[in-house]
Amino acid sequence: MFDRRLINYFDWGLLGITSMICGIGLILLYSAVHVDESVVQMSVFYKQIFWLGLGLTVMFLSFVFNYKHLDKWAPVIYFVSIMLLVCVHIVGKQAGGSTRWLVLGPFTLQPSEPVKIAVIIMFARYFSYNVQKTGLDFRRLFIPMLLAAVPFFLVATQPDLGTAGTILLIAASMAVFAKIDRKTFIALILVSVIAIPMGWKILEPYQKERLMTLLSPDSDPLGAGYHIRQSKIAVGSGLAFGKGYLQGTQKKLSFLPEQHTDFIFSVLAEEWGFAGSVFLLFMFLLLIAFALNIAHGCRDSFGTILCVGVAAMIFWQVFINMGMVMGLMPVVGMPLPLISYGGSSVLTIFMGIGLLMNVSMRRFTKQ
């Protein structure tokens, strides 16, 4: 049951930062779907309001119970998430050459998003029982490597290499935090480097094309390099303070691809300029700092590692998305947390923030 005394420890600062980022996201989304002065695709905007409202409910449900109960439920949560990914391959909805969604009545669910939370919970459970002062050796890392490999493979074959890579990055960040012994760490790096040529061979042709375009975007400006080129034009044209709200020309002329989802940061950079971009980046860094501060103040290893995992999830999604729209990373399907349109992504981030609040409210108590 929920103890009313925990309200005294409610993290209003974390809620305030989250609410501000959501507000910025709604303002940007409205601009992104505002194609001219007479036509506004309000359905997308209203859907996002609905997802944010549902996300707040999910966040509330994520902190009303004691997070320590997740320890024993971690295997079940992980197994259910993997089964959902398997169902995607069997009865999933196909769109844009990928099969990533499950149709649930009037809604669609992208299981590759909540599986991130499942991996975080499962890794927090494993590392909380296997932390070693000398660091984890390969034998103790074998199980978490397997736990990360299963969802990675299922998501990568959808195909969704961006989300699959994020799962690996989250897992790797949590493993590094838990501490890996020096010899094992060096060995893993060498194995990763050796595996790069093998990974290149199994990539789809369009995935290879995206990586090559990153190195030379002007080699095919109207084809594979179009997305990056138009995004960089929008980002650069914003200059210091932008062109003004609803005044972005790249956006108005629909030159920006996926401007309400993966490339929404380009809309911000064009209309709000460098100042607006830095402000949003600062808000995300503040959110991550809050997560790490909660981890630092937690009294048990499970809660600490859980918070680090959520911080890693937010960090890598922001890093990859912003790097992608600025031409520093390959173009992959990576939403900007709480900014890009998308229900599954919004619910997953809110679930993570709810877990942060859960730990924050109980780190000063004996519950």
Q: pLDDT tens digits for 21-52?
A: 999 999 999 988 876 554 557 788 899 999 99
Query: Contact 351/58 with Cβ under 8 angstroms?
Result: yes
Examine residue 106 and say whether the peptide bond preceding it is cis (omega within 30 degrees of 0). Answer: no
Average pLDDT of the segment spanning 274-281: 96
CB-count exposure of residue 297 (10 Å: 0-12, 13-18, 19+): middle
159-187 residue pLDDT tens:
888 899 999 999 999 999 999 998 988 98
284-338 residue pLDDT tens:
999 999 999 999 999 899 999 999 999 999 999 999 999 988 888 888 878 999 9
Q: Structural domain boundaries of the chain?
A: 4-362
DSSP state of 4: G
- Average pLDDT across the chain, whole number: 87
Q: What is the pLDDT of residue 51?
A: 94
How many Å apart are CA 84 and CA 101, to the nearest integer? 10
Residue 315, classed as helix, strand or coil, is helix
How many Å apart are CA 265 and CA 219, to the nearest integer? 24
Provide the edge-to-edge strand list for the sheet that holds 107-109. 93-95, 98-104, 107-109
- Element housing 264 (H / E): helix 264-297
Q: What is the dihedral of CA 337, 342, 343, 347, to 10 degrees?
A: -10
Q: What is the pLDDT of residue 230?
A: 82
CB neighbours of 72 closer than 8 A, spacing ≥ 6?
Answer: none
- Element housing 352 (H / E): helix 343-362
